[in-house]
Amino acid sequence: MGKLRKAEIAIIGGTGLEALLKSTKQILVETPYGLLPPTSVGKIDKKTVAFLPRHGIHHSVPPHQVNYRANVYGLHKIGVKRITATNAVGAINLDFKPGDLVVPHDLIDFTRCRQLTFYDETPVTHIDVSQPYCPEIRGLLIEKAKEFGVQVRDQAVLVCTEGPRYETPAEIEMFRQLGCDIVGMTGMPEAVLARELEICYATLCFVSNLAAGMQRRLTANEVVEVAKQKLPIMQQILREAVKHLPEDRCCPCAHALRDARLRG
């Protein structure tokens, strides 16, 4: 394990994506919330990028047990200002199908038992999530996917459930009626924790299955199979998006705390 190194950009996702980085070192990062899974730091083009395997390097941490606060805080600690995540999701929208790439623009939090904020004490902080995902990173993910000739869904509402079980058909029907397009177990509170630390955050999702009730039964293995198929194109899109991120941030994320606290 190497000594702590700095990175400006991070990718949070499943195993396999670390292959994106050149000349990687593994680092161990400690935070007041706990330890991060072994994180790789390496290069994409001239940029120093960290890769954090959300479920650990051997995929041993289930979605509801991921230490989201440690992960986001740890990335902040090593200097990260932008995070691009990846998530496997089920399709709720009847037009979406397995294999589709989706860059959601909004989300609904249906998690129940997760540590959801860095601001449990004073100063009382109400972060604005009118635009939950960074418009700059979203724009680049969509643009680069299109440049590769890949169809990408650029408007979608992601609902995050607690897991680790899949949903019931009635839950999926309810989510559909609420306007949700895709369902996953790891989108929250990651996105909001990033905003609380003024880190830009967006996610590139791939549809691994039709949600419950839309197919006979759901298996964890179909998620893995689609993940394997989509890995190469997701790597290409992420690499190009990271390469083209401008030095300066021109999005509201960087000033998220400015109007989030009550004036005393």
**What residues line the site for ligand HPA (CB under 6 A)?**
88-90, 161, 166-167, 183-185, 208-209, 211, 223
Token couple for 72: 């986001």
**What is the b/e burial string over 230-248, where b = at least 16 CB atoms within 10 angstroms of the residue's CB?**
bbebbbbbbbbbbeebeee
Token couple for 23: 């000349």
- Report how far apart, in Å, the C-alpha atoms of 177 and of each of 111, 172, 193 are: 18, 9, 27
Residue nearest to ligand HPA (CB): 90
Rank residues 53 and 90 by Cβ distance to ligand HPA and give the closer one.
Answer: 90
Q: Are 39 and 74 in contact (CB under 8 A)?
A: yes
Q: HEC states along 95-111?
A: CCCCCCEECCCEEEEEC
- Nearest approach in angstroms of CB 44 to ligand HPA is 26
- Measured from the Cβ of residue 187, the count of other Cβ atoms closer than 10 Å reads 27
Q: Are 164 and 66 in contact (CB under 8 A)?
A: no
The number of CA neighbours under 13 Å toward the Cβ of 253 is 27
Rank residues 40 and 161 by Cβ distance to ligand HPA and give the closer one.
Answer: 161
Rank residues 139 and 163 by Cβ distance to ligand HPA and give the closer one.
Answer: 163
Rank residues 47 and 55 by Cβ distance to ligand HPA and give the closer one.
Answer: 55
- Nearest approach in angstroms of CB 165 to ligand HPA is 9
Return the SS3 of 14: coil
Return the SS3 of 135: helix
Rank residues 211 and 231 by Cβ distance to ligand HPA and give the closer one.
Answer: 211
Give the DSSP letter of residue 56: T
- Nearest approach in angstroms of CB 124 to ligand HPA is 33
Rank residues 40 and 208 by Cβ distance to ligand HPA and give the closer one.
Answer: 208
- Nearest approach in angstroms of CB 176 to ligand HPA is 13
Return the SS3 of 230: helix
Rank residues 133 and 166 by Cβ distance to ligand HPA and give the closer one.
Answer: 166
- Nearest approach in angstroms of CB 245 to ligand HPA is 27
- Nearest approach in angstroms of CB 11 to ligand HPA is 18
- Nearest approach in angstroms of CB 13 to ligand HPA is 13
90, 98, 108, 110: which is closest to 179 by C-alpha? 108
